[in-house]
Amino acid sequence: MKLMSFVYDANASYGAVVDGGIVDLGRRVGARYPDLRAALQAEALDELRMAAAGQKPDLPLDAVTFLPVIPRPGKIICIGMNYSDKRAEWAHDKETPNLFIRFPDSQVGHGQPIVKPRVSDQLDFEGELALIVGKAGRHIPQARALAHVAGYACYLDGSVRDWQQHSVAAGKNFPSTGGFGPWMVTTDEIPDPTRMTLITRLNGREMQRATTDQMIFSIPFILNYVSAFTPLAPGDVISTGSPAGVGARRDPPVWMKPGEVVEVQIDPIGTLRHPIAAEP
């Protein structure tokens, strides 16, 4: 099942993607679960699946404004340096995950502009696989970790590199510099998260390519590690890291500029696409 959040006719809702359109689940079960995060908190995925089963789309995909899959996550935790080629690219040799946090307003939905800050010309791309937590947990054992995942989505971890040099928190949290979507695919359709291919493109040119089995720290390890220091709740988001090929390590460097288009494709999830715009 593909689940997404969107705005239609100035109203926020969420739905299931079927037959190239959207079954509006907010209209059907919104009185009980006002948004997708609330549905996850209630462990209501089966109810959403039943509500969408056999229904014709209420809306075409091109009629809505995509929101981030979870518009207001309680936590957005990102894993840095999780591919060996990326570590070699950055001469990074730490043996533990490199963690940082993103704010909800730093991310936008599919099709919405990624905004280049006026104070920097070094906006970089990092395509990643994100997981959406579906079951709360603390000190989650690796053997049971995948049971805590509701689904997976594409993530663009946009990085403002010159600011990141003196503050990772700042460099990762300029408003509208990250992308999350276009939807989440539930784990019943992706039982093995190591069998996915990630590709990042800038203006149609392939910049990054990796398979998720190349991650240094597996998803069960990440869930165990992160839940050791903070409790995870349904709707929390963990982005699992980016492979080599980022703009900062190219010669000459390649930065995202207004008027360009960046894409993160993950098979079998789909393609997250954003135009680049200048900060007003």
pLDDT at res. 91: 65
pTM of this structure: 0.96
Whether residues 115 and 137 fall in one domain = yes
Q: Which run of H or E residues covers position 36?
A: helix 36-41
pLDDT at res. 144: 98
End residue of a domain, out of 66, 91, 121? 66
Whether residues 162 and 128 fall in one domain = yes
- Domain hosting 61: range is 2-66
CATH code assigned at 142:
3.90.850.10
Whether residues 115 and 141 fall in one domain = yes
In the predicted structure, residue 153 carries a pLDDT above the cut 70: yes
What's the number of CA atoms in the CB half-sphere (13 Å) around residue 142? 7
Mean pLDDT of the chain: 96
pLDDT tens-place string over residues 116-150: 999 999 999 999 999 999 999 999 999 999 999 99
In a domain, 120, yes or no: yes
pLDDT at res. 94: 67
Whether residues 226 and 105 fall in one domain = yes
In a domain, 71, yes or no: no
Q: Which run of H or E residues covers position 273?
A: strand 270-278
In a domain, 101, yes or no: yes
pLDDT tens-place string over residues 82-110: 998 777 777 666 678 889 999 999 999 99
